[in-house]
Structure 1
Amino acid sequence: MKRKIRIVDTTLRDGMHAVSHQFTPEIMAEIAQRLDEAGVDTIEIGQGDGIGGSSYQYGFARATDEEYIKAVSKVLKNAKLDVLLLPGIGTIEDLKVAHHYGAKVVRVATHVTEADVGEQHIKFAKSIGMEAIGFLMMSHMAEVDKIVEQAKKFASYGADAIYVTDSAGALTPNEIAARIKAVKEATGLPIGHHAHNNLGLAIGNTLAAIEAGADIVDGTCKGIGAGAGNAQLEVLIAVLTKLGYETGVDLYKIMDVADDVVVPHMVRPQVIDKNSLSIGYAGVYGSFLLHALRASERFKVDTRDILMEMGKRKTVGGQEDMIINVAYELSKQK
């Protein structure tokens, strides 16, 4: 018997990017209840950029963090309710609210070279009894030694687990495996992986992460998420079950959630098109896509050119405002 793999579903957080953050609390509760019944261990919810993310800069969600968390916490019987917090977007006050209304887990997400900005959030979460996970985003933008250095910082703050996250869907299986193995050996903590599918490698990269020692992996129903989406959860469960891993997730039930519950609420099928492929190739943050599409239409320039230029400039999450500047500059060059 192979080991147990913890499954975190982010349909109701990363998937919010694909619907312009417009899931209602009722839709979230409906999907979350079915995910819980299917046996998913942890369910992450909220505006795509985490608690505190509903804003002009990142896009307004249909409801407040409080409304989403209250609605979902009422229907969960076994799954742990999880929120994402990006320091500078979400605050400790936001985390207090999330915890008050039922969040049990917080993933503190920082750029791969900036774990120190999450220190106070990790420590505060631990002080109020939450599970606190360090979440290193855009891990393709740092070499292995640098990622290990930052992971050790999260470990020193008391993180319960550490994620090596491929926010741009830009890494290959060998690159993922090297990062996971090194962080696992350096910290001794449970290690997680969050994949994006911009190069069509989300499932392959997730398997590579598990084989390299990852204990926790993410997925979304139908792969719904930023860019070309995430590892497609029902596919991932089928593959892991076939390989003999224990996930606790019922394969038929998760298939039903994806096809019967999530699909009716999707705006469009989650596919790898020329623009989402460009995200993976250029190595830019997945949530840039909708912003780039709007700027492309406004300034009459190719979306791919915007994304490629953002990649050349090594932009990171939180620099969405630069997309307008880049699109304007490209339009003048035309």
Structure 2
Amino acid sequence: MQSLQSPQCLGRRIAVSNILDVTLRDGGYLNRWQFSLEETKSVLNFLQDQGLSQVEVGFLRTPDRMTSPVNGCPKEFLAEIQQLYPEMSLVCMLNPAEDNWQAAVADKLDQISLLRMPCTADLVDKALEIANHLKKQSSHLKISLNLICVSSYSLAEIECLLRTIAPSKNVDIVYLADSRGALYPHEVNAMMALVREICPQSLGFHAHDTLGYAIENSNQAFAQGCDWIDVTLKGFGLAGGNTPLGGYLAHHDLQSSGQSIQAEVTDFCQKHLPLRHPDSLTRQRYRLLAAKNIDPVWCDQLLEKYPDTLNKKVEKLPRQHYKNIDSVLDIMIP
């Protein structure tokens, strides 16, 4: 499935500095972010050894919604990580739908270099408002607005969202996130070309590997001028997983030693990172859904309704911009 063509964009060659590891945040969907401090430090040590300096360490939450250091990022946790890894730039994610986002970020901005906000269309205005407030509080903080589930929008819809974001002086990076892992390389190419045309900000891309195109889609994004590419160890992440760090570094010959980076990642994860991908049957079903541009996170709900016939029903559906699970159920043949 991966065509594995190395991208060139205006003479650029991708570097480790373009790569952001999001294992602790996106991989956390596989263990509900229950990483021990020892496991967290092991991950950061390994990434540092590979030359990565930008790491997303988790979600910013209010104290009452915090379930672990990674799923909450209390200031004490961030301060300790910053002290242990002074050369690393710490990245955190803030959901703009948080009712009390001010409490979620309180006293933490000094430790964070980049704050990312995942947005569906209905949250863009709120995210821009939050970005305005945060920039007044911190002069060093970079802010990224991440348009998620971009395969659920037409190019015209994406263009409309981008024209809302582009004028903002408070947004430093505009990300497209293929949250469903449903995009094909030519679609990524068209979307990123549109972002580059409209937005003066730096560009980022977050791939999921549901259809097996994460590396190639990331390459297409970089070829269109993208500056930030997200990866995770062994591709650990929600549903179909993410762009695998080992595969991506190996593909671009960015290994820090003479050993196989993919073998190093596998060995490290077996010893220090007790995460597991979904079983093969589940991953196969995710691929079937993503091929129709249906969000794999709806899989359990769809199975509950059609436990014996889901695959056959999905195969008969058209590929289109499904916005929610009801839009799928509405056209499924009973």
So what's the TM-score if we normalise by structure 2?
Answer: 0.77
CA distance in 2, matches of 1:162, 1:87: 15
Q: Deviations over 1:15-51 (max 9, x none)?
A: 00122322123311221132123211310122xxx32
CA distance in 1, matches of 2:80, 2:158: 36
1:211-250 matches, within 5 Å, as 211-241=223-253, 250=256
Equivalent position of 1:96 in the other structure: 106
The offset of 1:71, in angstroms, is 4.3
Q: Deviations over 1:141-188 (max 9, x none)?
A: 112232233223333232111111101101100000101011111113
Question: Quick check: 105-114 or 209-218, which moved more?
Answer: 105-114
Equivalent position of 1:301 in the other structure: 307
Equivalent position of 2:85 in the other structure: 76
1:3-22 matches, within 5 Å, as 3-5=13-15, 6-22=18-34
Structure 2 residue matching 1:109: 3-state secondary structure: strand
Matched letter for residue 143 of structure 2: A
Structure 2 residue matching 1:174: 3-state secondary structure: helix
Pair 1:85-2:97 in alignment:
no
Root mean square deviation, CA, Å: 3.5
Pair 1:209-2:252 in alignment:
no
Equivalent position of 2:4 in the other structure: none
Equivalent position of 1:260 in the other structure: 267
Structure 2 residue matching 1:12: 3-state secondary structure: helix
Equivalent position of 2:205 in the other structure: 193
Work out whether residues 113 and 146 of structure 1, in 8 Å CA contact, stay in contact via their aligned partners in 2. no
Equivalent position of 2:12 in the other structure: 2
The offset of 1:237, in angstroms, is 1.3
CA distance in 2, matches of 1:9, 1:235: 13
Work out whether residues 205 and 221 of structure 2, in 8 Å CA contact, stay in contact via their aligned partners in 1. yes
Equivalent position of 1:244 in the other structure: none
Structure 1 residue matching 2:252: 3-state secondary structure: helix
- Specify whether residues 282 and 20 from structure 1 end up closer, same or farther in structure 2 by C-alpha distance, changes over 3 A only: farther
CA distance in 1, matches of 2:260, 2:130: 35
Equivalent position of 1:147 in the other structure: 158
Q: Matched residues, percent identical?
A: 21
Structure 1 residue matching 2:307: 3-state secondary structure: coil
Structure 2 residue matching 1:8: 3-state secondary structure: strand
Q: Deviations over 1:37-90 (max 9, x none)?
A: 3211310122xxx3229988xx94476421653443232232210011121137
Structure 2 residue matching 1:29: 3-state secondary structure: helix
So what's the TM-score if we normalise by structure 1?
Answer: 0.77
Q: Deviations over 1:128-152 (max 9, x none)?
A: 1311011100111112232233223
Work out whether residues 14 and 252 of structure 2, in 8 Å CA contact, stay in contact via their aligned partners in 1. no
Pair 1:166-2:178 in alignment:
yes
Work out whether residues 28 and 71 of structure 1, in 8 Å CA contact, stay in contact via their aligned partners in 2. no
- Specify whether residues 61 and 186 from structure 1 end up closer, same or farther in structure 2 by C-alpha distance, changes over 3 A only: same
Equivalent position of 2:128 in the other structure: 119
Equivalent position of 1:135 in the other structure: 146
1:29-40 matches, within 5 Å, as 29-40=41-52
Structure 2 residue matching 1:74: 3-state secondary structure: helix
CA distance in 2, matches of 1:54, 1:205: 37
- Specify whether residues 145 and 280 from structure 1 end up closer, same or farther in structure 2 by C-alpha distance, changes over 3 A only: same
Question: Quick check: 13-22 or 67-76, which moved more?
Answer: 67-76
CA distance in 2, matches of 1:254, 1:156: 41
CA distance in 2, matches of 1:312, 1:217: 26
Work out whether residues 119 and 146 of structure 2, in 8 Å CA contact, stay in contact via their aligned partners in 1. yes
Matched letter for residue 123 of structure 1: N
Structure 1 residue matching 2:166: 3-state secondary structure: helix
Matched letter for residue 20 of structure 1: R
Matched letter for residue 2 of structure 1: R
Question: Quick check: 270-279 or 104-113, which moved more?
Answer: 270-279
CA distance in 2, matches of 1:141, 1:196: 14
Equivalent position of 2:3 in the other structure: none
Equivalent position of 2:7 in the other structure: none
Matched letter for residue 84 of structure 1: M
Equivalent position of 2:188 in the other structure: 176
Q: Which runs of 5+ in 2 are unaligned?
A: 1-10
Work out whether residues 198 and 278 of structure 1, in 8 Å CA contact, stay in contact via their aligned partners in 2. no
Report the structure number with the largest CA radius of gyration.
2
- Specify whether residues 4 and 199 from structure 1 end up closer, same or farther in structure 2 by C-alpha distance, changes over 3 A only: closer
CA distance in 1, matches of 2:201, 2:131: 15
Work out whether residues 12 and 45 of structure 1, in 8 Å CA contact, stay in contact via their aligned partners in 2. yes
Q: Which of 272, 290, 294 is 1:280 aligned to?
A: 290
